[in-house]
Chains A and B, each alone.
Chain A
Amino acid sequence: NAGVTQTPKFQVLKTGQSMTLQCAQDMNHEYMSWYRQDPGMGLRLIHYSVGAGITDQGEVPNGYNVSRSTTEDFPLRLLSAAPSQTSVYFCASKYRGTYEQYFGPGTRLTVT
């Protein structure tokens, strides 16, 4: 199993550009989530999904969109990038009814 994979590893955007961060898992996990990690802030939940076709907002959803058309994939879209979105983004997944999340390696995003 590849586990949770994320692409790209690094990305630089200019203010106002849009892009999609990709996340995929091959463990048939129902629950998937996106976090951002900023220095001194720990991880904060952006959006999550409990199954295909179902998404919900986390703690810091503004400026981000998600969709979940398949169990395996959970892309995160930045609609119009802002410098405040400079961060490291982590995707995670788990089985419904369990608590242990499996994390991807992260995407480091810089917005100039």
Chain B
Amino acid sequence: SQQGEEDPQALSIQEGENATMNCSYKTSINNLQWYRQNSGRGLVHLILIRSNEREKHSGRLRVTLDTSKKSSSLLITASRAADTASYFCATYAGTGNQFYFGTGTSLTVIP
């Protein structure tokens, strides 16, 4: 399986704190994406980082990518209760048409 892994599996923080989750993957990639899934809902795309980028920002989100370690991290700054969700990374190898999702991190932000 080319599925990635995320850690931690679950994370609980206080509102206002930062949340960091990590994704490790197995093969060379063209890009890596992060998605959010609220309970009982479909996934929503958050941000994409290409293999030639090391860091990307979007609002309170900061994504880093280390292709030598085959890993990425997602930082959510100044978290809010509304950030409570599961977060998944997804990789695209650049050939074929398949995306491989990680196992997800469940984030709980306590008001």
CA distance A48 to B92 in the complex (A): 14
Size of A's binding interface in residues, CB under 8 A: 25
A105 touches B99 (CB 8 A): no
* A contacts, CB < 8 Å to B: 4, 31, 33, 35, 40-45, 48, 50, 56, 58-59, 90, 92, 99-106
Given contacts A104-B42, A105-B42, A106-B42, A50 and B97 within 8 Å (CB-CB): yes
- Would A42 and B97 be within 8 Å (CB), given that A99-B48, A101-B45, A104-B42 are in contact? no
The residue among A44, A45, A58, A99 with the most chain B CB atoms within 10 A of its own CB is A99
B-to-A contact residues, CB < 8 Å: 1-4, 6, 9, 31, 33, 40-45, 48, 88, 90, 92, 97-104
Q: Are A48 and B97 in contact (CB under 8 A)?
A: yes
Tell me, in angstroms, the Cα distance from A14 to B43 when the chains sit together. 28
Tell me the smallest distance from the CB of A90 to a CB of chain B, in Å. Answer: 6
